[in-house]
Amino acid sequence: MIAASVPMMVRLPVWRARLAVALLLAAFLVLAGRSLYLQSMHTEFLQGKGEARYSRVLEVPATRGRVVDRNGDALAISTPVKSVWAIPDDVNATPAQLKSLASLLSLDPRELSRKLSDAEREFVYLKRQIPPEAAARVAELAIPGIHQQNEYRRYYPGGETMAHVIGFTGVDDVGQEGIELAQQAVLAGTAGSRRVIKDRLGRVVEDVESIRAAQDGRDLSLSIDSKIQNLAFGALKAAVEAHKAKAGAIVVLDVRTGEVLALANLPTYNPNNRARLTGAQLRNRVMTDTFEPGSTLKPFTIGLAIETGRITPQTMIQTAPGALTIGTYTIHDAHADGKAGGAMSVAQVIQKSSNVGAAKIALSMPREEMYDMFKRVGFGAAPRLGFPGEAVGRVREAKTWRPVEQATMAYGHGISVSLIQLARAYTVFARDGELAPLSLLKTGVAAEGKRVFSPEVARALRDMLESAVQPGGTAPRARIVGWRVGGKTGTAHKQENGGYAAHKYVSSFVGFAPVSDPRLVIAVMLDEPSAGQYYGGQVAAPVFSQVMQGALRLLGAPYDAPLSPIEMPGEGDEAKENT
């Protein structure tokens, strides 16, 4: 008997089918509502998410402005370079490719592997600012995930000669020292931007639009004259080496315009290669270092006394017996005249650099008048050149001066100045009593000065300062052929551990020429000359002479003295300078 096969029929409840349809419909409505919501209410959000996968905004670097000297010669220029960067996750290279890449980038292979193994970083620089030829060889490797970008690197044709004037920029082309830092806003310009489309390997496949055009930095024309700068640097370097000085500095000013024509320091550095740069090399001593100026301050005290009618150049000052005791402190003279007894004129006080004579003249005046005069010639205030680290110096309030301090300030002790302040102060004598404003940028026009002394007093001081460089003065080595020169030596013990070091000196000379119509002021300073000679007339005055003669020739200044050779003094023939 064959059993009949009866199919089993299962009937589901109607409500369950309806529930399933309802749930599917609800889900569809939710998705449709969400889609409508996002596309109508959050359009920008979705577009941003989409564009983030292919659209990029790239910075368009601005070209940094050039720095040129007053004659248009380049002192700082930007050259195009490449920087190599990577997306670590995208890098796919063979060991041989990585070895070649490390060699081209001058990287240790282990350092390169470390950078590329950092999977947490989406972007890493492998090498900044490589030459275009090296970048081309990197591109030839065609390694996925390795990319390049255009940048600029600064090049400084003047090298170590111009280092303390120009300074340098960092790897991001931002000024770090000197003019590069002081004029960063002018030189840098403003970077632009553009929108591009990139593929998954980071390659630009389409340039969409320019968002903001780059604005290149402005060129700067400095007051510096490269020829005079080279002359000053060479003379200073030779003197530092010859006298085994710890450091040296020199600055050359144009009397008429107040422009800085040269500024040099030693030690120095090469801004194109800063691998072994030290703090001592970076110091712009002309601007940042202060020192006691010594006898270079005597003309200011004497000028004030003449201006106020207390003395004349012919007034006789008793300096015998070559010493002056104030309380427990004794001021000494090194010259023979005072020790032999007798008096000397005010003009001879300058010529022989008498401490006793300067101190007696200072003590004849109220201390407030001296303080005011020091402030009016720019001591105790930054020269306002806009240069990084300009020193203010130190001039204590007059009410704190004791008589001995007033006396020693007359010959440059108890007061501190920078070399640029001292050079600027001497423009008072060169400009018929006016203090010149200074500029590191080319102006080419006569500067309006500030009256300190009357023209008659300034000219009288010029004559006295000329006598200081004649035979019998403290600086006959400052004389030059063809032009009359005036100036003053300074030799001061260095301050150390709250007192004065017995055998460490700062030696200086400040002067101007031609005396008949001054064109330049030059100030020279040598720190700790240690080869035996240390008087300013011995170590600093010859630097002044060499630079002044060369600079006046370059400027075509008219002669105001015979062109006959000058006989330089032998050992012991020149007057000793007081310290």
Q: Which two tokens stand for residue 442?
A: 């080319």
Start-to-end C-alpha separation, the chain: 144
pLDDT computed for residue 403 by the predictor? 95
- Equal fold, 57-91+124-221 vs 226-555: no
pTM of the model: 0.84
Q: Which amino acid is at 264?
A: A
The answer for residues whose C-beta is within 8 angstroms of residue 109's C-beta and 6 or more apart is 98, 99, 102
Q: Which two tokens stand for residue 290?
A: 């202060």
Could you say which of 78, 83, 295, 353 is catalytic? 295
Which DSSP helix (H) or strand (E) runs through 252?
strand 247-254
- pLDDT digit of tens for each residue in the chain (579 aa)? 445 555 556 666 777 777 888 888 888 888 887 777 767 766 666 666 665 555 666 666 788 999 999 999 999 999 888 889 888 877 888 888 888 998 999 888 888 888 888 766 777 888 888 888 888 899 888 888 888 888 888 999 999 999 999 999 998 889 999 999 999 999 998 877 666 666 655 555 555 556 677 788 999 999 999 999 999 999 999 999 999 999 999 999 999 999 999 999 999 999 999 888 888 999 999 999 999 999 999 999 999 999 999 999 999 999 998 999 999 999 998 764 444 446 899 999 999 999 999 999 999 999 999 999 999 999 999 998 988 889 999 999 999 999 999 999 999 999 999 999 999 999 999 999 999 999 999 999 999 999 999 999 999 999 999 999 999 999 999 999 999 999 999 999 998 888 888 889 999 999 999 999 999 999 999 999 999 999 999 999 999 999 999 999 999 999 999 998 887 776 555 666 665
pLDDT computed for residue 52 by the predictor? 57
- Give CA–CA dist 72/257, Å, rounded: 18
Using DSSP, state whether 31 is helix, strand or coil: helix
CA atoms within 13 A on the CB side of 317: 32
- Whether the CB-CB separation of 303 and 537 falls below 8 Å is answered with no
Total residues belonging to the chain: 579
The answer for residues whose C-beta is within 8 angstroms of residue 479's C-beta and 6 or more apart is 469, 470, 485, 545, 566
Output the CA torsion 322→324→330→332 (10° steps): -30
- Give CA–CA dist 103/99, Å, rounded: 6
Q: How far is CA 32 from CA 36, 38, 162, in A?
A: 6, 10, 71
- Give CA–CA dist 483/159, Å, rounded: 32
Q: pLDDT for 535-569, tens place per residue?
A: 999 999 999 999 999 999 999 999 999 998 887 77
Q: Is 295 a catalytic residue?
A: yes
The dotted CATH code for 57-91+124-221 is 3.90.1310.10
pLDDT computed for residue 58 by the predictor? 61
Domain ranges of the chain: 57-91+124-221, 226-555
Question: Percent of the chain having pLDDT more than 70?
Answer: 87
- Whether the CB-CB separation of 373 and 395 falls below 8 Å is answered with no
Question: What fold, for 226-555?
Answer: Beta-lactamase (3.40.710)
Contacts 24+ apart (CB under 8 A), 168-176: 168/271, 168/274, 169/64, 171/128, 171/129, 173/61, 173/64, 173/78
User: What distance lies between CA 44 and its chain's CA centroid?
Assistant: 49
pLDDT computed for residue 342 by the predictor? 65
The answer for residues whose C-beta is within 8 angstroms of residue 17's C-beta and 6 or more apart is none
Residue 312 sits at φ, ψ, to 5 deg, of -130, 170
